[in-house]
């Protein structure tokens, strides 16, 4: 019971602020078929790993067109003579690194400071702020890894946090609504990420948004505590002149604060967009509604019908970020950052963890991807969401292994002021 109440508590904290952090959490939010930060990051990494192994000529027999590979599959193809046990042990350090990335990524929505910081989510038109924040983090990651004597804990934590912000760009801004078919290559590299609507320029209209009011289910009563549920479904509520000029905008939300802990409010003298969701009371101020694409259900996402497009774009952007990081670090340092070929110390730690049957917090071995692009990726993502939904239905109950008390009582110590 303790466990369930803790999980419900976390659910209530976590379901409002970006792609949903982790599969177990979306069940409580009833957003079962939505793609989470956890999945976006893992799919992207599998694609980057495949590319790395192919380009370093480690991997010979890769079927580019019609195959999906997990991390284990890729290692098995690269090292066909390894036993199952050896493969398990050798890939353990990499999986632990990814687990750290995934937990840190999810924590951006749960941590008291970052969950309401627009610069951590590309909210409230904080475009240069968010990109600046990513640039700072990237610099520390690169310095730490290139140092050679520093341990890589901080670099891995920051990378997980930074990817959260990168991924949110596609579900919180109007990039998808602008009809973009490729990722924004400037995010986290330049402070100026492209033409942005000015502060006194209206960006949304209330037309196109339909108000909804529905009764709460039991779970919603516990997790949301706002019954009946009042929210909006919106279509074409971004102003045509914004779309015509190709200007970026993103949604405002309630209770946000900037980097100096000063409050950020949705403007009342000009019609700006809201993030929108049953939890975002700013969505009742004009322009009513909102534009987020975090989930496939309208209670949380006024633009729910664009969720898969946003999630696909987030996968491609994350993959590109990993690939760029590899270019900047060089293959050896990239390898070290992810423990692709673990050191003796990492192998010793892995043996101990395996002997103790330690479980990963968020990492899921079964996630796979090919490296083909475009439509196929979208279809795969949709299918994966459907397939996994059934498994996740009972994730909230005590004999599930999906979420342990360690995950939810986890507290991040803040050493850097981000
Ligand atoms: C590398 O890291 C060590 C240990 O944290 C630090 O003392 C040293 O100054 C760093 N070197 C450089 C070149 O930054
Ligand atoms: C962006 O940063 C500036 C300067 O630090 C700050 O004044 C402003 O409030 C921030 N904007 C948002 C939306 O966080």
Q: Is residue 193 part of a domain?
A: no
Q: Is residue 251 part of a domain?
A: yes
Tell me if 146 CB under 6 Å of ligand 1.
Answer: no
Q: Are residues 241 and 375 in the same domain?
A: no
Distance from residue 202's CA to the centre of ligand 2 (Å):
19
Which tens digits make up the pLDDT trace of 341-395?
999 999 999 999 999 988 898 898 888 787 665 555 666 666 666 555 444 333 3
Q: Are residues 162 and 26 in the same domain?
A: yes
Q: Is residue 345 part of a domain?
A: yes
Tell me if 415 CB under 6 Å of ligand 1.
Answer: no
Q: Are residues 63 and 174 in the same domain?
A: yes
264 Cα nearest atom in ligand 2: 13
Q: Which of 288, 305, 322 is the last residue before a domain boundary?
A: 305
Q: Is residue 195 part of a domain?
A: no
| Predicted TM-score (pTM) above 0.85 | yes
Counting ligand 1 atoms within 8 A of each CB, the residue from 145, 147, 148, 151 with the most, and so the one to mutate, is: 147
Which tens digits make up the pLDDT trace of 269-323?
999 999 999 989 999 999 999 999 999 888 899 999 999 899 999 999 999 999 9
Tell me if 264 CB under 6 Å of ligand 2.
Answer: yes
Q: Is residue 197 part of a domain?
A: no
Q: Are residues 29 and 155 in the same domain?
A: yes
Q: Are residues 299 and 336 in the same domain?
A: no
Handedness of CA 324, 325, 328, 330 (dihedral sign): negative
Mean pLDDT, range 172-194, rounded to an integer: 96
Count up the domains in the chain and report the number: 2
Residue 255: which domain range? Answer: 209-305
Cα separation of 370 and 403, whole Å?
Answer: 27
148 Cα nearest atom in ligand 1: 1
Mean pLDDT of the chain: 84
Q: Is residue 142 part of a domain?
A: yes
pLDDT at 398 over 50: no
Residue nearest to atom 5 of ligand 1 (CA): 150
Residue nearest to atom 13 of ligand 1 (CA): 147
Cα separation of 114 and 145, whole Å?
Answer: 24
pLDDT at 18 over 90: no
Q: Is residue 296 part of a domain?
A: yes
Q: Are residues 259 and 406 in the same domain?
A: no
Q: Which residue has the tokens 């190709």?
A: 246
Q: Are residues 148 and 55 in the same domain?
A: yes
Q: What is the pLDDT of residue 68?
A: 82
Tell me if 258 CB under 6 Å of ligand 2.
Answer: yes
Q: Which of 240, 272, 305 is the last residue before a domain boundary?
A: 305
Q: Are residues 172 and 319 in the same domain?
A: yes
Cα separation of 147 and 346, whole Å?
Answer: 18
Q: Are residues 314 and 301 in the same domain?
A: no
Q: Is residue 219 part of a domain?
A: yes
Q: Are residues 176 and 217 in the same domain?
A: no
Tell me if 385 CB under 6 Å of ligand 2.
Answer: no
Is residue 356 classed exposed, middle or buried when 0-12, 13-18 and 19+ CB atoms within 10 A define those classes? exposed
Q: What is the pLDDT of residue 223?
A: 73
Mean pLDDT, range 128-154, rounded to an integer: 96
Of 16-25, 49-58, 213-222, 232-241, the range with the lowest mean pLDDT is 16-25
Q: Are residues 354 and 282 in the same domain?
A: no
Is residue 323 classed exposed, middle or buried when 0-12, 13-18 and 19+ CB atoms within 10 A define those classes? middle
Mean pLDDT, range 22-43, rounded to an integer: 70
Q: Which of 276, 305, 334 is the last residue before a domain boundary?
A: 305
Distance from residue 149's CA to the centre of ligand 1 (Å):
7
Q: Are residues 40 and 154 in the same domain?
A: yes
Cα separation of 226 and 279, whole Å?
Answer: 8
Cα separation of 292 and 305, whole Å?
Answer: 10
């Amino acid at each position: 019971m303790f466990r369930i109440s803790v999980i419900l508590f976390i659910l209530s904290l976590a379901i409002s602020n970006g792609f949903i952090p982790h599969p177990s959490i979306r069940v409580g939010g009833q957003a079962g078929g939505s793609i989470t930060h956890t999945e976006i990051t893992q799919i992207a990494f599998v694609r980057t790993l495949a590319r790395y192994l192919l380009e370093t000529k480690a991997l010979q027999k890769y079927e580019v067109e019609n195959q999906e590979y997990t991390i284990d599959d890729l290692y098995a193809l690269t090292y066909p003579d390894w036993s199952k046990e050896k493969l398990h042990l050798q890939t353990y350090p990499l999986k632990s690194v990814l687990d750290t990335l995934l937990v840190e990524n999810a924590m951006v929505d749960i941590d008291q400071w970052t969950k309401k910081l627009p610069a951590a989510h590309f909210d409230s038109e904080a475009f240069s702020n968010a990109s600046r924040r990513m640039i700072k983090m990237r610099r520390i990651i690169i310095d730490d890894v290139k140092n050679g004597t520093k341990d890589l804990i901080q670099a891995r934590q920051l990378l997980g946090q930074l990817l959260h912000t990168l991924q949110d760009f596609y579900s919180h801004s109007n990039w998808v609504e602008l009809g973009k078919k490729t990722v924004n290559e400037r995010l986290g590299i330049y402070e100026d990420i492209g033409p942005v609507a000015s502060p006194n320029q209206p960006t949304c209209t209330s037309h196109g948004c339909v108000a909804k009011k529905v009764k709460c289910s039991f779970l919603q009563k516990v997790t949301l505590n706002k019954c009946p549920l009042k929210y909006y479904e919106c279509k074409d509520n971004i102003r045509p002149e914004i779309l015509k000029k190709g200007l970026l905008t993103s949604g405002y939300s309630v209770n946000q604060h900037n980097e100096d802990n000063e409050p950020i409010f949705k403007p009342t003298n000009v019609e700006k967009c809201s993030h929108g969701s049953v939890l975002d009371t700013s969505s009742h101020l004009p322009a009513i509604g909102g534009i987020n694409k975090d989930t496939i259900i309208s209670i949380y996402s006024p633009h729910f019908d664009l969720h898969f497009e946003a999630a696909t774009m987030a996968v491609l952007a994350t993959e590109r970020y990993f690939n760029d990081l590899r270019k900047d670090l060089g293959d050896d340092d990239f390898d070290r950052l992810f423990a692709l070929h673990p050191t003796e110390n990492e192998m010793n730690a892995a043996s101990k963890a395996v002997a103790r049957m330690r479980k990963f917090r968020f990492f899921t071995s079964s996630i796979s991807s090919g490296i083909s692009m475009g439509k196929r990726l979208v279809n795969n993502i949709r299918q994966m969401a459907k397939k996994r939904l059934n498994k996740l239905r009972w994730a909230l109950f005590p004999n599930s292994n999906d979420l342990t008390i360690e995950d939810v009582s986890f507290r991040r110590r803040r050493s850097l002021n981000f």
